[in-house]
Structure 1
Amino acid sequence: MKVAQYLAAHDGVITTADAVARGMTPSEIEGRVRAGLWSREGRCVFLSVEHELTDAARIRIVVATYGGVIDRASAAWWHGLITTPPAAVQISVGRSVRPQQRCGAQADSKRRSYPAEDVMTLRGVAVTSLELTVLQASAELDDGIALMDRALQTKCVTVASLRKALDRNSGSHGMRRARFLLTAAADLSESQAERLFVKILREYGITGWTHQVWVAGLRSDFGWAAERIAVEIHGWRWHKTKSQWERDQRWINLVHGVGWVPLVFTWERLTTEPEVCMAELCAAIETRQSAA
């Protein structure tokens, strides 16, 4: 692959070693820099001015400069799990690597190493494996629960493969949060979400409810009989089958048809915005009580 082809395939980023391997001499490389054809982005790292400094180019520059492994949310973007990468490229380097004084892209570097099973090469870049990336990004991002859920839904990872990666990296930063999320994801009965709902009800002092009530011939997770409010608690979406989804829609229609108010709360919302969920519930209770 010649230099022009290499640049096109690598987002305009090239190192001295890559250029020499394609027949260029060190003096020819410096000549391109002096002519303004290449900009120096790091020690022996260059960007062709014919290419924009894209998000992909920033990641390649940081990897070429630091020589580490792209991880966390940056790895999630490289894997295609999220649409927007973080402003600073996240990378982990060995503890013996000296900090770089110059890099044309902002980097968020940490000193740590990963087991060989959790590192792969993707489009020429060393990056954490899909499983470890899902765990790290889920623990770090505000919508990390949704990220893990999507990964499980699309079957690009499994609970078993995530658990193995978690065990190999149990002492790493963020893995405690990842373990909490994975434990919830593995709970097929949704009982964990129901226990969380009860805990929040008690914290907010909301009473008058009954666990497991029958409304319109169907069982609801929770009910306020006096106010005629039925609540369903959903766990992780990836467990849902088509028949379960259809049952949920039928439940809403039937409950509403007999004059009850149907409310649905997900594990994700109960975890990330419990105050909003309780505000919605309290508003429904107050509306029913005022109309009585």
Structure 2
Amino acid sequence: MELANETTVQEFILLGLGAAQQTRFLLLIFFAVLYMLTLAENITIITLVHVDAHLAQLPMYTLLSNFSLLEMCYVTTTVPRMLFDLASPHGIISFHACFLQFYIFFSLGCNECFFISAMALDRYLAICHPLRYPQIMSQTFCYTLVAACWVLGFLGYILPVTLISRLSFCGTNIIDHFLCDPEPIMSLACPPIKNTPLVCQFSMNIIVILGNLFFVALSYGIIILTLMKKSSSEHSQKKAFSTISFHLLVVTLFYGSIVGMYVTPGAENQSQISKVVTVFYTAITPFLNPLIYCLRNDQVREALGRLLRRKERWLRRKVIT
């Protein structure tokens, strides 16, 4: 990336959260604990789904185990770097490392949009077409859906990252953020930057965010109407509404924050608000999602109980022998 004065940008400086020195240590401890808890929650879910024979046969939990893996990767892309910057006075990141983080972080964000849509599709088929659900959501179709979510997520942001990485950068190399976000990076670029912002807006906002949000809203809207029309027992209807309400909570937490960040005009220019919102969907929601989706679920709690009892029996046999 050569500048007009023939120098080359080799690194950027991340300003981080902008916290006062006396609060940096508290934030470091808080996010370190939150990160470890997030990993523990998601590892627990992945282990349960793969160890428990009952959960492993259910498409919803195949999707959730991959979603948990995604959340682990997602939070690992940003939080360790944030912790490093909180512990270190210098937030220096190389040019290539910055754009690698940029690509992986936003690709995983795209993956999350697709996985939320896949889980909405699964619930739509299970509730609106229960008789055809086993045939439609077969193991082969479920694995194909999972593969499509992973592939589409990592393909979706190749063009924007490539275009932004080819821009020339003038003057300061300071990014007023704790991660390599496209808006702060493009604000450092030399004019003209041509149609790069429009391409990023179209690929990320229109196709990925709003496209998936429309699909999810439509799916859950049809599900709610179907449940209201069904003459099933009050208990089963209440249970279905409870499950859907928790799913909608995850959708609201995720899409509420990213729509405010990347779709609402002008939101990206408010630096401190941008950091707070980004912290929320990069560190807080990956911690909350397992609690909302799985660990409150009866089937997951029963599977956890079976695993713990199996572990207890194994330890007893080990002690006896």
Give the structure-1-normalised TM-score: 0.25
Q: Which has the higher relative contact order, 1 or 2, with Cα contacts under 8 A spaced 6 or more apart?
A: 2
Bigger fraction of residues in strand: 1
Greater Rg over alpha carbons, structure = 1
Bigger fraction of residues in helix: 2
